[in-house]
Homo-oligomer: A and B are copies of this chain.
Amino acid sequence: MQAPRVLVVAATHGNERNGAWLVESWRQEPSSLNSSGLELLLEIGNPAAHRANRRYIDRDLNRSFVQDLLADAACDELEILRARELLAQFGPQGSRPAQAVIDLHSTTSSMGNCLVVYGRRPTDLALAAAIQAQLGLPIYLHEGDAAQRGFLVESWPCGLVIEVGPVPQGVIEPRLCLQSQLALEAALAALAAAKRGCLAQPPALVVHRHRASLDLPRDGGGWPLACLHPQRQGRDWQPMGPGDPLYRTAAGESIAYEPPAGLEDQQVWPLFINEAAYGEKRIALSLTSRERWAVDPSWAESLAALLTEQN
């Protein structure tokens, strides 16, 4: 029985250098990563952007896995070409298909070591639940956000993002590398256990479910009229309620949080507070609801079936 093949991607954003440094190091010295016996495909997501130390060249690679763009022969942006290439090699119909993908990211926000899951695929939830049971990592469940789509991991039947921060763009920081490796090894161990049919699942999963994103207050020309409030900066995963200080003007005036429609009178848990790369997306922070879900036994069965069927 062949071992499951797992694609491990880093530098999907070229200026997130910790994961890229790890991937190159593991290529040179495979024994320094515990693969739990899986076959690993170690890839630099966006080599051109990594060489240029930029997030991307033409467009965000991690918003490029969109069917209509990938199918549009007239589209020759560098990241679309790279997305097609990754799929042709390692995608479900590729020449050397991977059953699962782990995408290593970093952020300038104080997100700590965490997981990002896109939507509610049973295979992803089984994997995330196993990692959370093992390491306690919090989970950002991204869904219902029409403005942000085309994430890399969505193109594989199972996949999630390991996100670590805070770290500046362009910097390799040892603590962050250790965190990424720890989470990746837990993910690989969980996949190996699922393949053996003995994946340990906790009774419940805690997720922070995406609800909305907020921008800084801006003038008509787009200039920010305030920055994050010092009492909010760095407080990812900590609850916020109506009236809490959220922004501050250069003159020192506080601006309080006003819930957007649908979130009135609720606490929210802000994430990706002041992420450098989201300025251009006009996102100063995202708001989530903290939810506790019972783990469904069918999730682990789906993951075991996926890892078995193609071997």
Contact = CB atoms under 8 A, between A and B. Distances in A.
Interface of A: 21-22, 24-26, 29, 31-32, 53, 108, 166-175, 177-178, 223-224, 227-230, 233, 248-252, 274, 276-277, 279-280
A21 B279 CA distance: 13
Contacts of A26: 250
Given A25-B250, A108-B171, 4 more contacts: A53-B280, A170-B277, A173-B228, A174-B227
A284 to B, nearest CB: 10
A298 to B, nearest CB: 38
Copies of this chain, complex-wide, total 2
A274 B171 contact: yes
A233 B277 CA distance: 23
Most B C-beta atoms less than 10 A away, residue of A170, A177, A248: A170
Contacts of A24: 223
Nearest to A31: B251
Given A21-B250, A26-B250, A279-B53, A274 B32 contact: no
Given A21-B227, A250-B26, A251-B29, A276 B168 contact: yes
A282 B173 CA distance: 16
Contact of A251 (B25, B167, B280): B25
Contacts of A230: 174-175, 178
